[in-house]
Amino acid sequence: MTTDAPAPAPTTPERYVEVQRSDEFAGLRKALRGFVFPMTAAFFLWYALYVILSAYARGFMDTKVVGHINVALIFGLLQFVSTFLIAWYYSRYANNKVDPTADKIRAALENGDKE
């Protein structure tokens, strides 16, 4: 760190509030919440649809597709597929869009701590 930068503040409660109110942090919060909240709603509804169909749409779930494989089984397996895909997609998103900003803010804070 260069010493002629403005004296870095130690991580006091005020410093946390200051960071929390910064635009950069607001961007980080938005990047994270903007992804995880809608995604949670999406997979929860998708899963709820599966459970509700199992309870109330037996005729549909019982439809045979190939041999003894019916809609219920395929629907269940699709829950596996969607879970794997969401996990993979989130990790890619977090690596690219969340981590760099988080690292930057953290570095600024911790360098402040050490002075």
Partner 1 sequence: MSAFLAAEAGDTTARTLTIILFLVFVAVTLAITVWASRQTKTATDFYAGGRAFSGFQNGMAIGGDYMSAASFLGIAGLIALYGYDGFLYSIGFLVAWLVALLLVAELLRNSGKYTMADVLAFRMRQRPVRTAASVSTVTVSIFYLIAQMVGAGALVALLLGIRPGTTFLGMDADAAKIATIVLVGALMIVYVTVGGMKGTTYVQIVKAFLLMSGAAIMTVLVLAKFNFNLSSLLGAAADASGKGDAFLEPGLRYGVDVADNARQTFYNKMDLLSLGIALVLGTAGLPHILIRFYTVPTARAARKSVLWAIGIIGTFYLFTLALGFGAAALVGGEEIRAQDAAGNTAAPQLAEQLGLDFLGGDTGGAVMLAVIAAVAFATILAVVAGLTLASSSSIAHDFYANVIKRGQTSEGQEVKVARIAAFVIGAISIVLALFAQSLNVAFLVALAFAVAASGNLPAILYSLFWKRFNTSGAVWAIYGGLLAAVVLVFFSPVVSGAPTSMFKNSDWQWFPLNNPGIISIPFGFLCGWIGTLLSKESDEQKYAELEVRSLTGAGAH
State in Å, rounded, how far the first CA of the chain is from the last one. Answer: 10
Are 98 and 24 spatial neighbours (Cβ–Cβ below 8 Å)?
no
The C-alpha angle 46, 85, 80, rounded to 5 degrees, equals 60
**Per CB under 8 A, which of residues 12..71 are in contact with partner 1?**
13-14, 16-17, 19-21, 25, 28-29, 32-33, 35-36, 39-40, 43-44, 47-48, 50-52, 54-56, 58, 61-62, 64, 66-70
- d(Cα 21, Cα 47) in Å, to the nearest integer? 36
CA distances from 53 to 39, 49, 57, 71 (A): 21, 6, 5, 10
Q: Which of 87, 96, 100, 115 binds partner 1 (CB under 8 A)?
A: 87
What does the binding site for partner 1 look like in residue numbers (CB under 8 A)?
11, 13-14, 16-17, 19-21, 25, 28-29, 32-33, 35-36, 39-40, 43-44, 47-48, 50-52, 54-56, 58, 61-62, 64, 66-70, 72-73, 76, 79-80, 83-84, 86-88, 90-91, 94, 99, 102-103, 105-106, 109-110, 113
